[in-house]
Amino acid sequence: MAEHMIGSAATFLQDGEMTRLELEGKPVVVARVEKDYFAFGGSCPHYGAPLNNGVLKGHELMCPWHHACFDLRSGARLEPPALNDLARFPVRVENDSLYVTLPHDNVREPQGGVDPADGRTFVIVGGGAAGENAAEELRRQGYRGSIVILSAVPESPVDRPNLSKDYLAGKAQADWIPLRSRSWYAERDIELMLNTRVTGVDSKARSVQTEDGETFHYDKLLLATGGLPRSLTNVPGHDLAGVFLLRSLEDADAIIAAAQPGLRAVVVGASFIGMEVSASLRARNVDVTVVSPESVPFENQFGAAVGEMFRRAHEENGVVFRLGSGVRQFNGDNGQVNGAQLTSGEVLPADLVVLGVGVRPATDFLQDSGLAMDEKDRSVLVDAHLQTSDANIYAAGDIARYDDGGGNRKRIEHWRLAQQHGMIAARNMLRGGSDSVQRHVPFFWTNQAGISLRYVGNVHKFDDVVFRGKAADRQFIAFYVVDGKLQAAAGVKHDRDLDALEFILRDGLPLTVEQMQDKDFDLVKYAVEKR
């Protein structure tokens, strides 16, 4: 261990300030909250963002890139997508001198395995974001009963947002993709059963059945099966070789194998998956044409100005668009796709096709479960604590239509929200009512064609979009307003402001349209100082 004197305790930082240092060749951030100093690892344990560029509110520090949040007093992660806590380093003051000691990184992770005396079994159906985070949170919260994850896919839970971004683009190695190693689960007595498809739930017997005939009994059950990518089954030729969906690591690997430089790809759907795939295929020097019925990409989600910004960026990157059109049929030769005939009559040559036309809740196995479900999309109805109509069953992530506390039911297909749901469900499975979706703000990010956009909050229909800056300049904040009240915001090159806006939305702080528009109104200062 080595101790470093870094300055005067009285003047090194003011309350609420932080700074980044290099100590022994590693980044360390020192922060002051009230009279106390804290020292911790300088890079976010998620993707390595410089944490000194984030926003500090009281003892809570939010990462500037993907909004992981940490408590400086313990280092505990408060919000995903980070899985690990912050490394923390001892701080002491002597004769007004401030010292930081660097031992090995002091990181707390979920520990402990099964205690036979506990006797309980919690079953998690689904090995995605919600299921993985629920298992972690159960161990974090001190649960010592059995945990069984039943996952239909062949691989350990993976970092799914990376599949359409860096991994598909060839910028991320395969060993980056698993969220945890297989040994990590084993060390914590989390039984991870892969290639295990659940076919039914018997709530009276408290059991689930699998495709191979096994039965698993539970004390508490979490349903977290995510979404199934939609296929154009009504379009002739949808089953030709070379027509791909993207949901799993296996899907991404199949697309990578087919995406040779100089080939021609048709991407159907200007969705987030579709547009991110387009950018990643261009990084592999594949010619890309996007076909979609919209006149402007993302118009419903972000408004026309932001959608036009993305379209132009993709066109500059070599993507060709056929908007206002759909696919009539896929053409093939010897079972291999070679073209797509559009509803306009145009035929596009295609060596491969990727469908990005949305997902539906993966809930077919719940048909006879007796759980309350939405009549339209068959999502599972849950309360603000993610509890279903059966007190022993919870649902999280893409399949959960939850009560947002404002009289509305929402279902949101975001990665970080699914992770948040896993945490919330785990806490409530252990201590009913201890956490609520109302305490956690939705957030997602997208990287495509050189643009990184962050989005906080959620709104399906907005009255107005209030801009600070211009979308065409690719540096702006867009505020999405309903009845004059902020519901969500998106931004490019305004990372700290988006951090601040998550705090503003979480804490219910009022924000006028004039304040939204005023570039001199400091959102960070407002978020930090208001309680």
Predicted confidence (pLDDT) per residue in 465-510, tens digit:
999 999 999 999 999 999 999 999 999 999 999 999 999 999 999 9
Q: Is the pLDDT of residue 426 over 90?
A: yes
For the domain made up of 450-529, the CATH class stated in words is alpha beta
CA dist 37 and 99 (Å) reads: 10
pLDDT band at residue 322 under the 50/70/90 scheme: very high
Predicted confidence (pLDDT) per residue in 41-85, tens digit:
999 999 999 999 999 999 999 999 999 999 999 999 999 999 999
pLDDT of res. 110: 81
Q: What's the CATH architecture for 243-357?
A: 3-Layer(bba) Sandwich (3.50)
CA dist 353 and 350 (Å) reads: 7
Q: Going by C-beta distance under 8 Å and a sequence separation of 6 or more, which residues neighbour residue 267? A: 274, 277, 278, 281, 288, 289, 290, 291, 353, 354, 356
| Averaged confidence pLDDT in the chain | 96
Beta-bridged to residue 264, according to DSSP, are 287
Q: Is the pLDDT of residue 105 over 70?
A: no
Mean pLDDT calculated for residue range 375-392: 97
pLDDT of res. 192: 98
Q: Domain ranges in the chain?
A: 2-102, 121-228+361-436, 243-357, 450-529
Q: Is the pLDDT of residue 106 over 70?
A: no
Tokens of 285: 């020097």
User: Which CATH topology does 2-102 take?
Assistant: Rieske Iron-sulfur Protein (2.102.10)
Predicted confidence (pLDDT) per residue in 429-452, tens digit:
999 999 999 999 999 999 999 999
Judge if 121-228+361-436 and 243-357 fold alike in CATH terms.
yes
Domain 121-228+361-436 sits in CATH at 3.50.50.60
φ, ψ of residue 425 to 5 degrees: the values are -60, -45
Q: What percent of the chain has pLDDT over 70?
A: 99
Q: Is the pLDDT of residue 1 over 90?
A: no
pLDDT of res. 434: 93
pLDDT of res. 112: 86
Tokens of 164: 């359409």
| Positions of E strands within 63-127 | 69-71, 77-79, 88-89, 91-94, 97-102, 121-125
Model pTM score = 0.96
Burial bucket for residue 333 (CB in 10 Å: 0-12, 13-18, 19+): exposed
Q: Is the pLDDT of residue 237 over 90?
A: yes
DSSP string spanning 5-36? Answer: EEEETTTS--TT-EEEEEETTEEEEEEEETTE
Beta-bridged to residue 118, according to DSSP, are none
